[in-house]
Amino acid sequence: MIYNADEMGISVVHKPGKVVAELGRNHVVSGQRGKNHTLMACVSASAFVLPPIITYPRKRALPDNYKAGAVPNTLFVTSTNGWINSELYFEWLKFFSNNIPPARPVLLVQDGHSSHMSIEAIEYAKSSQIYILCLPSHTTHILQPLDIGVFKSFKSNFSKAFTNYVSKNPGRVITPDLMSSLVSEAWLVSVTHLSIMSGFRKSGLFPFNPSVVNDRLGPSEVFKEESKSNGTPELTLPTIQHSTIDSPLTPEICDVSSAHVLSDTHSINPTPSVDISPVPLAHMDTNSSVSVNDDHTELFTEEQEKLFSKCFEEGCDLYDPLFVTWLKIRHPYCCVSVSFDALSECTATTCTKKRENSKRRKEKKRRKEKKEEKRKKEGEKDEAKRKKEEERRKEEEKKKEEERKKEEERKKKEERKKEERKKKEEEKKRKEEEKYLKKQTAYCSLRKKLKEEDSCPKCEVKYDVSDIWIACHVCDRWLNFECTELKDRSNIPDTFICQDCVKV
């Protein structure tokens, strides 16, 4: 398996493509200068992606809020200046060894920075069967897959993530605790299967093709012409020879998890001449030798070509590392990608477009049925609720009708009582009127009688209209006021009884 690891510097200071400045100014310098952070990535030729490592410029331990929204299983470390040193690289090398697929040996391609060359790291790599290949100086932009295929896209998407955050949160300053979430947003769209495979292909590492970079690494045309004119031999770069290697049969077909990661594994011979061949597979003949060349014409037999072409056209799933290798060579942009959980066992699955569409249709049908069932249940609930509401409404109407009848009965009773009271009052008034009439009649008769008698029975004084006369209520005789025992003329009682009647 071929891996490539590289670091890149990132910062929380946003550098947008366009800025607003005074008219006529050609250079605009930002007053901010953020601290450096280092992001280290590692990918394989089979598009296996190791979670990144982010180095923060801190002395204390990293708070938990700095890890929010990060890429799953990201390794967080700190250093004084935010750069990776020998100790941190040794820690990452252990992380790398523990979380890659178990196939050994592996080739780790990286630059020749001094932090990568510690004695402890080299001894650990040797014990773990990790062969470290350091690229020559000033050639990483040509030979390093991450620089060619991934980091350029990542920097662009990282800047877009900054711009989106600033536009959605105007006035808010981007702080280091937001770094991991912004890295995750750019990581998911940048570190893809196509970008990784493109980087390895353009660097000539896999599929192995030195002619891709030979022209760029050779001497310039001017230097060649001067060499010829001076009679000195022309400088040429050494070429890597291809060899034919006999490969024994693998005892059994690899499982799904190792089928994809073993497809680009090479046997590495640490000698000046580098021999690279595919991993022996169960479909190869024990006595046949497979020669690798740039055209891949002798890598597969006729029967294998027919079988793999038929499987590719029909969209079949063939869990065979040789089929995966055939896909990568014949159809590099349709090759099956590999996913990996850094803290769990290596898992890899192949999915064709036909199966994805079928799965999508089944999922869509399942969601539709679930939605229909949910709508049906909601309809039943609404119907039950409507019936319950109708019953409640009828019950309320019934209660209102009963209350209305009771109110009518009460009003009728009150009306009857009012009529009875009215009748009683009328009867009472009639009786009072009758009594008054009787009294007036009696008074008139007494007056008439008094006029007939025309004198007081005691003093025998004749009746005088100008004087006060009082009638006894017992004997009905009229007496002169002077003949009574009353003294106050202004306070005459309503009922008067004469002395003769009192004695009786």
- Buried b / exposed e over 323-353, threshold 16 CB at 10 Å, is bbbbbbeeeeeebbbbebebeeebebebebe
114 burial type by CB count under 10 A (0-12 exposed, 13-18 middle, 19+ buried): exposed
Domain holding 489: CATH number?
A: 3.30.40.10
In sequence order, what DSSP letters do the residues of 412-430 get, joined into one string?
A: HHHHHHHHHHHHHHHHHHH
Lowest mean pLDDT among 113-117, 231-235, 400-404: 231-235
pLDDT of residue 225: 52
pLDDT of residue 252: 33
Residues 291 and 244 sit within 8 Å (Cβ to Cβ): yes
pLDDT of residue 31: 52
- The larger pLDDT score, comparing residue 198 to residue 477, is at 198
Q: Which of 328, 320, 280 has its CA nearest to residue 304?
A: 320
Residues 471 and 497 sit within 8 Å (Cβ to Cβ): no
Structure tokens at 498: 């004469």
Distances (CA, A) of 36 to 54, 60, 65, 78, 159: 11, 16, 19, 11, 15
**Per-residue confidence at 317, pLDDT binned at 50, 70, 90?**
low
Segment (H or E) for 28: none
pLDDT higher than threshold 90 for residue 499: no
Same domain, 445 and 499: no
Same domain, 465 and 436: no
Distance (Å, rounded) from C-alpha 218 to C-alpha 256?
Answer: 42
Structure tokens at 452: 């007939």
Structure tokens at 330: 């014949």
SS3 275: coil
Chosen domain end from 335, 351, 367? 351
Same domain, 436 and 472: no
Same domain, 404 and 458: no
Tell me how crowded residue 393 is: count the other CB atoms within 10 A of its CB: 10
Quick check: is 217 in a domain?
Answer: no
Same domain, 269 and 145: no
- The domain of 248 spans 240-351
Same domain, 123 and 10: yes
Quick check: is 369 in a domain?
Answer: no
Distance (Å, rounded) from C-alpha 279 to C-alpha 292?
Answer: 12
**Per-residue confidence at 218, pLDDT binned at 50, 70, 90?**
low
**Per-residue pLDDT averaged across 47-53, rounded?**
93
- The larger pLDDT score, comparing residue 16 to residue 283, is at 16
Quick check: is 406 in a domain?
Answer: yes
Same domain, 396 and 251: no
Q: Which of 212, 190, 218, 187 has its CA nearest to residue 51?
A: 187
Quick check: is 221 in a domain?
Answer: no
State percent of the chain over pLDDT 90.
25
pLDDT higher than threshold 90 for residue 282: no
pLDDT of residue 277: 34
Quick check: is 415 in a domain?
Answer: yes
Highest mean pLDDT among 162-166, 321-325, 431-435, 490-494: 162-166
Structure tokens at 392: 């409640």
Structure tokens at 468: 């006060």
pLDDT of residue 501: 82
Quick check: is 223 in a domain?
Answer: no
For the chain, first and last CA: distance in Å?
153
- The larger pLDDT score, comparing residue 490 to residue 76, is at 76
Strands (E), 26-116: 37-44, 49-57, 75-79, 106-110
Confirm whether pTM is higher than 0.85: no
Distances (CA, A) of 200 to 44, 105, 225, 379: 9, 19, 33, 58
230-259, pLDDT tens digit by residue? Answer: 554 444 444 433 333 333 333 332 333 333
pLDDT of residue 268: 34
Distance (Å, rounded) from C-alpha 74 to C-alpha 82?
Answer: 16
pLDDT higher than threshold 70 for residue 504: no
Same domain, 249 and 264: yes
pLDDT higher than threshold 70 for residue 265: no
Tell me how crowded residue 377 is: count the other CB atoms within 10 A of its CB: 10
Could you give the angle at the alpha carbon of 46 between the alpha carbons of 349 and 330, nearest 5°?
Answer: 90
SS3 393: helix
326-376, pLDDT tens digit by residue? Answer: 877 877 655 444 333 433 333 344 446 667 877 888 888 889 898 889 888
- The larger pLDDT score, comparing residue 203 to residue 479, is at 203
List of residues 6+ apart from 109 with CB closer than 8 A: 2, 3, 4, 5, 133, 135, 143, 144, 145, 205
Quick one: how many helices (H) and strands (E) in the chain?
14, 10
pLDDT of residue 23: 82
Structure tokens at 202: 């353009």
Distance (Å, rounded) from C-alpha 170 to C-alpha 312?
Answer: 51
158-197, pLDDT tens digit by residue? Answer: 999 988 998 898 888 888 899 999 999 999 999 998 899 9
Same domain, 68 and 88: yes
Same domain, 54 and 183: yes
Same domain, 37 and 98: yes
pLDDT of residue 234: 46
Lowest mean pLDDT among 18-22, 42-46, 246-250: 246-250
pLDDT of residue 144: 92
Q: Which of 258, 157, 138, 264 has its CA nearest to residue 201?
A: 264
Residues 5 and 96 sit within 8 Å (Cβ to Cβ): yes
Structure tokens at 200: 């390895």
Q: Which of 60, 107, 111 has its CA nearest to residue 89?
A: 111
pLDDT of residue 360: 84
pLDDT of residue 329: 80
- The larger pLDDT score, comparing residue 54 to residue 303, is at 54
SS3 434: helix
Domain holding 45: CATH number?
A: 3.30.420.10
**Per-residue confidence at 24, pLDDT binned at 50, 70, 90?**
confident
Chosen domain end from 413, 436, 451? 451
pLDDT higher than threshold 50 for residue 287: no
State percent of the chain over pLDDT 70.
72
CA atoms within 13 A on the CB side of 105: 17
pLDDT of residue 337: 41
Distance (Å, rounded) from C-alpha 338 to C-alpha 44?
Answer: 10
Quick check: is 129 in a domain?
Answer: yes
pLDDT higher than threshold 50 for residue 211: yes
Q: What is the mean pLDDT of the chain?
A: 76
pLDDT of residue 490: 73
pLDDT of residue 349: 43
**Per-residue pLDDT averaged across 418-423, rounded?**
90
Chosen domain end from 294, 316, 351? 351
Same domain, 204 and 59: yes
Distance (Å, rounded) from C-alpha 150 to C-alpha 52?
Answer: 13
Highest mean pLDDT among 65-74, 209-218, 304-313, 474-483: 65-74
According to DSSP, the residues that pair with 245 across neighbouring strands are 290
**Per-residue pLDDT averaged across 383-402, rounded?**
90
pLDDT of residue 483: 81
pLDDT of residue 191: 93
Tell me which residue has tokens 């001094």: 114
| H, E, C per residue of 288-342 | CEEECCCCCCCCCCHHHHHHHHHHHHHCCCCCCHHHHHHHHHHCHHHCCCCCCCC
Quick check: is 159 in a domain?
Answer: yes
**Per-residue pLDDT averaged across 55-63, rounded?**
90
**Per-residue confidence at 72, pLDDT binned at 50, 70, 90?**
very high
pLDDT of residue 323: 76
Please state the domain count of the chain: 4
pLDDT of residue 451: 53
Angle between helices 119-127 and 86-99 (to 10 degrees): 10
